[in-house]
Structure 1
Amino acid sequence: MKDTEKPTKTPTETTRHARLEVFFNPASFILAAAIGLTLLGITILFSASMSYRTDPYFFVRKQVTWLGVALVVGFVAARVNLEKLRGLSWWIVGVLFAGLVLVLVPGIGVEVNGARRWFDVGPGRLQISEFAKLGMVFVLAHYLARNHKDIGTFGRGFLYPLAGLGVVCFLILLQPDFGTAMLTGAVGAIMLMLAGTRLIFLVPSVLAGAAAIGVAIYFDPVRMSRITSFLDVEGNRAEGSYQLWQAILAFGAGGVQGVGLGSGRQQMAFLPEAHTDFIFAIVGEELGLPFTLGVVCVFALVFLAGVLHLRRAPNVFQFLLVTGSLLLMTLQAVINLGVVTGLLPTKGMSLPFISYGGSNLLLMAMIVGLMLNTRTAWARPVLRDRDREWKEVAA
């Protein structure tokens, strides 16, 4: 053998390398990031729960309970056969459509602060729109993959999937939940673009949808006040922008080092929703700049890891499914971080893994489970080829 030649790996070495790739790959990093963010969230909830005077550990206990359920849901998502599950796509459509309609019916859906988005489930509540987002991603990925040869046509490649996406977004708007509707529409539009839908059809429809959302906000006094308050935070700090102003004060008080875990003041009933939508401000106040930057960097790395993971996708369906799931997680994080830091108008949206809330935690567990599912499934062809090669050599 010449000195310049590299020694080839034996089939056994190659198989061992392929098996290691199952554990040391981008999807594994996403799992590690999810664990770290969840632990941070539970830790911060100990402080943020102090405003709940009757039981300071109320939110912590409930979140830990939801976490137990989320682990089971994530395990199931990691083990299910995605290709066989495609056969139930239209059943999934029917269940989600029924849920989005039934939640609007008085006496069935639970109304909180003028919004009807939840079902009572035993001791807790489930927000149906959270699961509708992932269901939409799954069904849309199945449809686009099945009709990929016709993706350039107006009907099957654009009109039909857009109509289905529009119905889901419209039902979510009726709850009303403008933020979730916009997130769902944005993820669906990106999936259509990546699948190959012609931009001459897609771009005008996206602009029209954005304009329709703008008109709906304009005629909604509550949401319009959020926009006007956002344009002058300090001038409206006692009214419309009170929540954002308190969040800004929290970041300012925390500074670089933070005031210390459990020593923050904003969770003492000064900052509304300190345990849910604005929990990132508590992170900034108590743990300081290193942790806030750390959270931002972790979500950025999760997105990068997801993109790297997508390079192994074996078919269009699984590529679009993982893409949509990744966008549901990372875009939601971007919106929450933008709202809490004053870069975006106030919108109630949880910070994945960190904010209190069972429905979103279950959704994120499903998404991480899907990542782990595809981590194993996408490595199987490699393992199978290497095993067959080894058997041929042994024979």
Structure 2
Amino acid sequence: MTFTLRARNMLTGTAAIAVAALALASCAAPPAAQTDFTGWDQVTAAAQGQTVSLWMYGGDEQANSYVDNTLAPAAAKEGVTLQRVPVADTKDALNRVLTEVQAGTREGGVDLVWVNGDNFGTGKQAGAWWCGWTPMLPNMKLTAPSDPLLANDFGTPVEGCEAPWSKAQFSFAYNSATVADPPKTLAGLLEWARTHPGRFTYPAPPDFTGSVFTRQVLYSVSGGHTNVPLGFDRASFDRLTPALFDTLTGLAPSLWREGKTYPKTSGELNALFAGGQVDFTMTYGPATLTKLVADGTYPAATRVLTLDEGTVGNASFLAIPSTSGHQAGAMVVANLALSPEQQAAKADPRIWGQFPVLDPAALSVAQRAMFDALPPSPVVPAYDVLSKNANPELSAAWVPELDDAWRRQILTGR
């Protein structure tokens, strides 16, 4: 799944973010402030009447509907007005926050961000996120402190700078009416693509889904994720990536439109799949497939492909910028989003279908019953099936390096 935000300014793109972050670091930007609240009652009192702007990817209709029709009304009952700010890329939100940090703003226009990965890591380095607040959230006790997906975000320690919101598992979906004998490994999937020209493609990095696809291929051609160091170093990159780009270069002529063009976004790939132009799509939010099949957007025969070696898994978070003027209200929303009621509603495929971050062992019998009552999906396996043999995410530093190399070696052919 991709996490994005709008409010354009003069800085756009990965390179601009890196420049801004380096500039802030070189100016010895102070670390994000620790919370001054002494108790949750003080937080809820300060939050009354505040309006919280949640910057998030605007291209997921189910996500938008969940926030507008489920989370926002619940926040209103807590005395907080939640406003969703749709954006096209999370980098837009980070750029906005970095600009506000540079200007010394303390009443910024971004209060909460749906974020993970390199955007979180870059922002943390530059002092963009407020830190030390998540231990105060009452509902954090319902998560497992030992859960590695929640402790680190693409290799960057979370350290109280963002609250978990959803878990995700990179997944492939296919039309079982046209793919009679689906492959069971990623190498098998690539071989299927070679023997069925034009029926497979992937989004062009730096699209979030296209980017994770390249990392998944890197694991495959390297003999498994254990052979790829999670932390980035140039020697490992130079040693491991030739096989990756040789594989993707060889695959290109068998792709949709012979690899002469690629979908720019995961949305474009999804549209190709929905229209029957390709037989596979891919997503970091497979639970959403249930509704897409039910409403006729996707073929009725759509199924999720489970791979023997597993796929990449991670979590997404809610972060509060250090420039937010409504930090108390943002904390209330983040705590509410972690509640069993909201996590169960968000997990309902009829509403959004995102995997919860709560620890079942920490829930009461009544709370577990809410999740047990969720309807099973005829399309998507249960999370414990999808996450079997889950592959860890590479550190955030790998992402722009792989994306840039893909652009140079695959897209432009150099």
What is the TM-score with the length of structure 1 in the denominator? 0.25
Question: More strand per residue: 1 or 2?
Answer: 2
Question: More helix per residue: 1 or 2?
Answer: 1
What is the TM-score with the length of structure 2 in the denominator? 0.24
